[in-house]
Chains A and B, each alone.
Chain A
Amino acid sequence: MSLPKVRVPYLLLFPGFAFLFTFFILPIVNLAQTSTQTPIAGGDTGEYEQTFAFSNYIQAFVDNKEQFARSFVFATFSTLLALLIAYPLAYAIAFKSGKFKNILLVLVVAPFFTSFLLRTIAWKQILGEEGFVVPGLRSLHIISQQTTLTSTSFAVVAGMTYNFLPFMTLPLYASLERIDPRTIEAAGDLYANGITAFRRVTMPLSLPGVVAGTLLTFIPAAGDYVNAAILGSPTSKMVGNVIESRYFKIVDYPTAAALSFTLMATILVLVTLYIRKVGTEELV
C-alpha cells in the first residue's frame, strides 16, 4: 500500500499550502476586492458594493500622505536607533560575555514574556509626568519645566525602538557569533589596528545580520500603530492609526483596505531597493 513516491512531497506540503491559502491568499483577495468598493446609494453604515473604484487608492493616499510620510520617518529613525543600540550589545554578547552568554541572550528575549501592550503602557508611566524620568531631567535642566515626554513623536520613536530591539539584536548576534575570531587575529597580524580590523573584517562579515535586523525592525515599525496610539498625540499619528480608525470608527472598509495595500506596496518597493543595494547573496 505504499504511495507512489511522486505524491509524497505534495502530501507533506498540503497542510502548509492549505494554511497559507486560507489565512493568507483568501484574506488578501478579500482585501483587494474591498479596496475598490463604494457605498451603496441609500445604504446603511458599512454597506458597500463592488464598483472597481480604483480612485479609492488615490483618494486614500492624498488624504493621508502626512501619516504615510510620518510612518516611514518614524520607522527609519527607530530602525537606526535600534541598530546603534543593538550592535554593541550583540557584539559584546558574541565576543566578550564568556560564561554569561546564555544569560544575556535570555535577557534580550525576556521582554517577550510580557505582553507587547503592557510593556508599551509601562513606558507611558515611565515617561509620564509623575514617573522618574521627567522630574529627573527637569531638575537637571535638560528639559524645561513645561516640556513633557509623553504624547510626543519622541515617545513614539522611543517606544518603537524599544519594542523592536530584540528583532535587531538576535540576527546581529547570530551573524557576529559566526565570525571566526581567527580572521580578526589575522587582520591584526597584517598590521590592521582595531578600527581598521572592525571596518574591514568584522563589519562586512556581520552585514547579513544588519540587513536581516533592519528588515525585521523596519517592516513592523512602518505598520505599527500601538506605539503611536498609546505614546503619541493627535499630531504624531501613523498610517496604522488611520487604517484602524477607518475600519472601526468610520466603518469605511474600502479606504482602510486601500491604505493597507498602499502600505504593503510601499514597504515592498523600499525593501526591494534596499536589498538590491546591499545585495542578498550573503543573507542568512
Chain B
Amino acid sequence: MATERSLSPEARSILNSQISRRGVLAGAGGLGAAGLLAACGGSSSSGGEDTKTVRWGNWPLYLDFDSDTKKYPTLEKFMTETGLTAKYFEDYNDNDEFFGKVQAQLKLGEDIGYDVVTPTDWMAARWIRLGYTQKFDAANVPNKVNILDSLASPSYDPKRESSLTWQGIMAGFGWNTQKNPKGIRTLDDLFAPQNKGKIVVLTEMRDTLGIILLAQGVDITKVTENQFMNAVDFMAKKISDGWIRGVKGNEYAQDLTSGDATAVIGWSGDMFILASENEGKFDFAIPESGGTISGDNLMIPSTASADGKKNGEALINYYYDPMVAAEVAAYVNYVCPVKGAQAAMEKIAPELVNSEYIFPSDKTSSRLHIFRSLTPDEETKWAEAFQKAQGN
C-alpha cells in the first residue's frame, strides 16, 4: 500500500531542485508579457493575419517560461525551426467565459483572433458538436500517434480528428500536513473536525462532484441525474452546515497558503507547486475511491484561415514531439499526454521521470476516472443545480 498511498515521495525528493526553475514570480512575469502581447495583437488582425503567423490562446502559466529572458523556450525553438511567428496569448481563463467571448463570431464565421485554442474536454465536446472546429490534415500532424492510449479516443472525438490533449489534469484531495498529519484519503478524512469551516472545493463541477460521486460509489462514466442531484444535495448540506468555506477556482491555493483553508478538492499541478514552494507543508493524493482526470485540448477553430490552420497543425505537431512535451511537462507538472516523453525526461530532468504527477503509473491511472459527457439539456440543468448549491 505504501507506494499507492500518496504522490508525495517523488514530489518531496525534488522539492528544492524545482523551485528555481518554476518560480511563481516567473509566472507572474509571463502573465504581464502575455498581457502586452495581447494588447498589441488583439485588434490588429481582422481576418487578414499574415501567412507565417499562428495565434494560440492558452491558460495562464501553462507553458515553459524562462524568467531571465522573459520568453517561452519551446515556443522560441518552434519559431526558429519552422520560420513561423507564434503569437501566444495567456487569456484562456475560464471555459465558459472564453466561449461567451467568441461564440457570436464563431456563429457568424468571423475570425476570433486565434488559430489554436485550448478548451477543457467538456467544452471541447461542445465546440466539436457545434461545428466550431476544423479537422486536422493527418499528413500535417504525424506526431498524433504519440498520444497516450488512455486519451486516444474520447467520446467527443473518438478518432482524435480535431483535438489533441494539451495536458491532463488530475483532481483529488489536497491538504495542510500540519493540520492533517495523517493525510486525506476519503471524504470522511476531508470532513474531519479539524477541517470544519476550512474546506474549499473546486468550481469545476465535474471535478468536485466527480470526487463526491466516486466516494458515494457511483460510476461517473455512467452517472444518472438522480445520482448527480444527490451528490449536489450532499455538497449543499456541507455548505449550509458550515463545513465548506468556499467553492473556488485556482484561488484555493491562496487560501491554503493564508491558512484560511486546511483541506481542499484541488488539482495535482497546483498542489505540486504549493508543496514545492512551502517545503512539504502541503500534500496531494488521489482519493481511495478514485479521482477525476480531464484534459485541455488543442483545437483549430472553424474560423482559422487555411494558412492559420496549417501553421496551427505545425504547432500542435511540434508539441507532440516527446522531447518538447517533456520540456513543457518539467515546467507545468500536469499529466503529460505524449508517449515517449517519460523516456525523454531522462535527458531534461531525470528526477521527474518517476513523478506520478506527470507520468501516472498504470496503477494510479486505473484510479482516475473521466466524467461522462452531458447532453446540452443536462449541461444546463446540472450546472444550474451546482451553481445554486454554492449560493449563486
Please give, as numbers and ranges, the residues of chain A lying within 8 Å of B383 by CB-CB distance: 249-251
Partner among A129, A233, A244, A245 whose Cβ is within 8 Å of the Cβ of B246 = A233
Cβ–Cβ contact B258 & A67, under 8 A: no
Cβ-based interface call for B217 (8 A): no
Given contacts A129-B258, A233-B239, A250-B383, 4 further A-B contacts (CB under 8 A): A43-B376, A148-B260, A151-B245, A241-B392
Residue A144 interfacial (CB < 8 Å): no
Interface, chain A (partner B; CB < 8 A): 39, 43-46, 67, 124-125, 128-131, 146, 148, 150-151, 233-237, 241-242, 244-252
Q: A128 and B260 in contact (CB under 8 A), knowing A234-B247, A234-B391, A245-B387?
A: yes
CA distance A153 to B251 in the complex (A): 19
B30 to chain A, nearest CB (A): 18
14 contacts across the A-B interface (CB closer than 8 A): A43-B376, A67-B391, A124-B254, A128-B258, A128-B259, A128-B260, A148-B198, A150-B260, A234-B239, A234-B244, A234-B389, A235-B240, A241-B392, A250-B383
* B76 CB–A CB distance under 8 Å: no
Residues of A within 8 A of B244 (CB): 234
Question: Chain B interface secondary structure, helix, strand, loop or mixed?
Answer: helix
Given A130-B259, A151-B260, A146 contacting B390 (CB threshold 8 A): no
Instruction: Give every chain A residue within 8 A of B99 (Cβ-Cβ).
Output: 46, 251
- Out of A234, A247, A251, name the residue touching B390 (CB < 8 Å): A234
A148 touches B197 (CB 8 A): yes
For residue B185, CB closer than 8 A to chain A, the reply is no
A129 contacts B390, CB within 8 Å?
no
| Complex-state Cα separation, A246 to B380, whole angstroms | 10
B129 at the interface (CB under 8 A from A): yes
B100 at the interface (CB under 8 A from A): yes
| In the complex, residue of chain B having the shortest beta-carbon distance to the beta carbon of A147 | B197
- Shortest A214–chain B CB gap in Å is 27
Known: A128-B258, A236-B391. A251 touches B96 (CB 8 A): yes
Q: What residues of chain B have their CB less than 8 Å away from a CB belonging to chain A?
A: 94, 96-97, 99-100, 103, 126, 129-130, 197-198, 203, 239-240, 244-247, 254, 258-260, 376, 379-380, 383-384, 387, 389-392
Contact indicator A249/B96 (Cβ below 8 Å): yes
Q: Which of A148, A151, A235, A247 contacts B100 (CB 8 A)?
A: A247
Among A45, A151, A248, contact of B376 (Cβ-Cβ < 8 Å):
A45
Which residues from A are CB-within-8-Å of B387?
245-246, 249-250
User: How many whole Å from B130's CB to the nearest CB in chain A?
Assistant: 6
- Complex Cα distance A130/B94, Å? 29
Query: In chain A, what residue has the closest Cβ to B248?
Result: A229
What's the Cα separation between A46 and B380 when bound, in Å? 9
B254: which A residues are within 8 A, CB to CB? 124
Residue of A nearest to B97 (CB): A248
Shortest CB-to-CB span from B24 to chain A, Å, is 15
Question: Across the two chains, which residue of chain B brings its CB closest to A239?
Answer: B392
Asked, given contacts A148-B260, A250-B387, whether A235 binds B96 with beta carbons under 8 Å apart, the answer is no
| B259 close to A129 (CB less than 8 A) | yes
* Chain A contacts for B247, CB-based, 8 A: 234
Q: Is the CB of B126 within 8 A of A44?
A: yes
Chain A residue at minimal CB-CB distance from B386: A249
Partner of A245, one of B103, B197, B198, B392: B392
- Would you call A233 and B103 a contact (CB within 8 A)? no
Which residues of A sit under 8 angstroms from B258, Cβ to Cβ?
A: 124-125, 128-131
Least distance between A269 CB and chain B CB atoms (Å) = 25
| Chain A residue nearest to B385 in the complex (CB) | A250
Query: A237 to chain B: which residues have CB within 8 Å?
Result: 390-392
Query: Which of A125, A241, A248 neighbours the largest number of chain B CB atoms within 10 Å of its CB?
Result: A248
* Nearest Cβ on chain A to B371's Cβ, whole angstroms: 16
**When chains A and B are docked, how far (Å) is the Cα of A150 from the Cα of B261?**
11
Interface-central residue, A39, A43, A129, A246, by most chain B CB under 10 Å: A129
CA distance A46 to B107 in the complex (A): 12
* Best-surrounded residue of A39, A45, A242, A246 (most CB of chain B within 10 A): A45
CA distance A130 to B245 in the complex (A): 16
| Known interface pairs A44-B129, A45-B126; A146-B259 also in contact (CB < 8 Å) | no
Is A251 within 8 A of B246, CB to CB? no
Looking at the assembled complex, report how far the CB atom of A129 sits from the nearest CB atom of chain B, in whole angstroms.
3
Quick check: B239 and A235 within 8 Å, CB to CB? yes
- Establish whether residues A129 and B380, one from each chain, have CB atoms under 8 Å apart when the complex forms: no
Bound CA span A248–B95, Å: 9
Pairwise interchain contact B390-A45, C-beta atoms closer than 8 A: no
Chain B residues, Cβ within 8 Å of A45: 126, 376, 379-380
Residue of B nearest to A129 (CB): B259
Given contacts A146-B197, A151-B246, contact A248 B130 (CB under 8 A): no
> Which B residues touch A246, using CB under 8 A?
387, 392
Closest B residue to A41 by beta carbon equals B377
Q: List B contacts of A67 (CB < 8 A).
A: 391-392
**From A44, A124, A131, A250, contact of B130 by CB (8 A):** A44
The 5 closest A-B pairs by CB, nearest first: A129-B259, A245-B392, A237-B391, A234-B391, A128-B258
B390: chain A residues at CB < 8 Å are 234, 237
Partner of B245, one of A46, A146, A233, A250: A233
- Compute how far the CA of A233 lies from the CA of B254 in the bound complex, rounded to whole angstroms: 15
Chain A residues lying within 8 Å of B384, measured Cβ to Cβ, are: 250, 252
List A contacts of B392 (CB < 8 A): 67, 237, 241-242, 244-246, 249
